[in-house]
């Protein structure tokens, strides 16, 4: 399981990378894609849509099951990764690079302070998702 130090993480296994000008990139963590297995389908919001913290902003299909992805920030979608619509497995093979999901212009930088650091996220997974 790969966890990158420069990212922030949500309890719903979404990573956040700050870009510039209040813009962040969101994606599914390596841990989440490992849990789901091979992704068959991705449903994304439209550019211009607003997303709100804890609301579903996208969904993925794996093994004929659907799972919603929940927003860790509030903002307006400025771009979507069209490449993953055609090839959802990019999330499996490259969750932190080519498999990014959306870019969002966030309303408040304070949203980032509510997310976990890489160390906190690793501890969260160990304490909440792995057998003891």
Q: What is the CATH number of the domain that holds 102?
A: 2.40.50.100
Interval 81-86 mean pLDDT = 96
Position 66 in a domain: yes
pLDDT tens for 16-29 read: 999 999 999 999 99
Position 68 in a domain: yes
Burial (Cβ within 10 Å: 0-12, 13-18, ≥19) of residue 128: exposed
Position 128 in a domain: no
What is the pTM (predicted TM-score) of this model? Answer: 0.94
Beta strands 50-51 and 39-43, pairing class: unpaired
Position 124 in a domain: no
Range of the structural domain that residue 14 is part of:
9-108
Position 51 in a domain: yes
Return the pLDDT at 130. Answer: 63
Report how many domains make up the chain.
1
Position 130 in a domain: no
């Amino acid at each position: 399981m790969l966890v990158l130090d420069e990212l922030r993480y949500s309890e719903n296994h979404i990573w956040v990378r700050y870009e510039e000008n209040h813009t962040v990139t969101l994606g599914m963590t390596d841990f989440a894609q490992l849990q789901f297995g091979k992704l068959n389908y991705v449903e994304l919001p439209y550019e211009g849509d607003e997303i709100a913290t804890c609301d579903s902003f996208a969904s993925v299909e794996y093994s004929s099951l659907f799972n919603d992805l929940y927003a860790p920030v509030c903002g307006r979608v400025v771009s979507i990764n069209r490449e993953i619509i055609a090839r959802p497995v990019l999330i499996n093979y490259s969750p932190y690079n080519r498999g990014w999901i959306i870019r969002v212009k966030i309303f408040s930088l304070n949203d980032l302070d509510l997310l976990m650091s890489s160390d906190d996220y690793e501890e969260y997974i160990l304490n909440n998702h792995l057998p003891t």
